[in-house]
């Protein structure tokens, strides 16, 4: 192995026991994922830290939130990021959503080959789901910026009330001038010295 599949302390509980399956996903991303254009060419260490470890912090947040009755949708999943790592470590059903059919076909092949029975890949328009779904936790990693999400939510406030949005972001604080949203910003390490941000947004 030409990279270190390190596990941050926050992930020890759920990551260690699933390491073999996560390494198989890593291997698939670094070969088929790159070959079929699901991800652009990246070093093995980058794929582990930025795609797999980063994704698993979404799972940590799902556990912390305890929204047991919520469905989970990963919008703009691309190569299954963060939904596939989340589905591997979780017993919950995870819906991977992308607008590109080719991406969905590749994901379906991987899901079938690994017998990941709780993960479903679907070709759908994420914007429609944001407008219509209720009692849902949406995961979004590098799909749309937080400001665009807020604009969509502002137009659909009455529908958004029982939803939670977990979205990758940067260190910029949230300017909540209209006080309609509750935003909790999480800062966490993806390896020994680099940290990332994820926002958890609920509609008040």
Give the residues lining the site for ligand SAM (CB under 6 A): 76-78, 81, 97-100, 103, 125-127, 141-143
User: Of 40 and 69, which has the nearer Cβ to ligand SAM?
Assistant: 40
State in angstroms the smallest separation of the CB of 139 from ligand SAM.
8
* Residue 126 to residue 147: CA distance in whole angstroms: 16
SS (H, E, C) 154-182: HHCHHHHCCCEEEEEECCCCCCCCCCCEE
- For 40, the 3-state DSSP assignment is coil
CA 45 vs CA 24, 31, 49, 50: distances in Å: 14, 14, 6, 8
Closest approach, Cβ 121 to ligand SAM, in A, equals 12
Pick 15 or 81: Cβ nearer ligand SAM = 81
Q: Please state the closest distance from residue 32 (CB atom) to ligand SAM, in A.
A: 15
Closest to ligand SAM by CB, 155 vs 204, is: 155
CB 81, min distance to ligand SAM, A? 4
Q: Is 185 helix (H, G, I), strand (E, B) or coil?
A: strand
Q: How far is CA 160 from CA 42, 138, 190, in A?
A: 36, 11, 30
**By C-beta, is 104 or 116 nearer to ligand SAM?**
104
Q: Which is nearer to ligand SAM, 127 or 189 (CB)?
A: 127
Token reading at 20: 């073999």
Closest distance of CB 64 from ligand SAM, Å: 21
Pairing of strands 71-75, 136-140: parallel
Give φ, ψ of 64 to 5 degrees. -60, -35
Nearer to ligand SAM, 119 or 126 (CB): 126
The two three-digit tokens of residue 118, written as one number: 């709780």
**Least gap, CB of 110 to ligand SAM (angstroms):** 14
């Amino acid at each position: 192995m030409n990279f270190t599949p390190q596990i941050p302390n926050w992930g020890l509980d759920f990551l260690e026991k699933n390491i073999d399956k996560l390494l198989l996903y890593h291997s698939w991303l670094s070969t088929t994922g790159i070959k079929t254009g699901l991800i652009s060419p990246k070093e093995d260490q980058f794929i582990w830290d930025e795609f797999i470890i980063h994704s698993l912090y979404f799972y940590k947040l799902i556990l912390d939130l305890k929204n047991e009755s919520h469905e989970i949708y990963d919008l703009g999943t691309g190569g299954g990021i963060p939904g596939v790592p989340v589905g591997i470590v979780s017993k919950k059903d995870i819906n991977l959503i992308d607008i590109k059919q080719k991406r969905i076909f590749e994901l379906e092949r991987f899901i079938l080959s690994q017998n990941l029975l709780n993960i479903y890949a679907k070709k759908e328009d994420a914007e429609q789901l944001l407008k219509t779904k209720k009692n849902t936790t949406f995961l979004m990693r590098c799909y749309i910026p937080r400001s665009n999400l807020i604009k969509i939510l502002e137009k659909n406030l009455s529908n958004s009330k029982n939803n939670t949005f977990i979205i990758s972001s940067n260190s910029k604080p949230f300017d909540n001038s209209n006080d309609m949203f509750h935003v909790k910003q999480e800062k966490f390490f993806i390896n020994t010295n680099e940290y990332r941000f994820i926002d958890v947004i609920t509609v008040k």
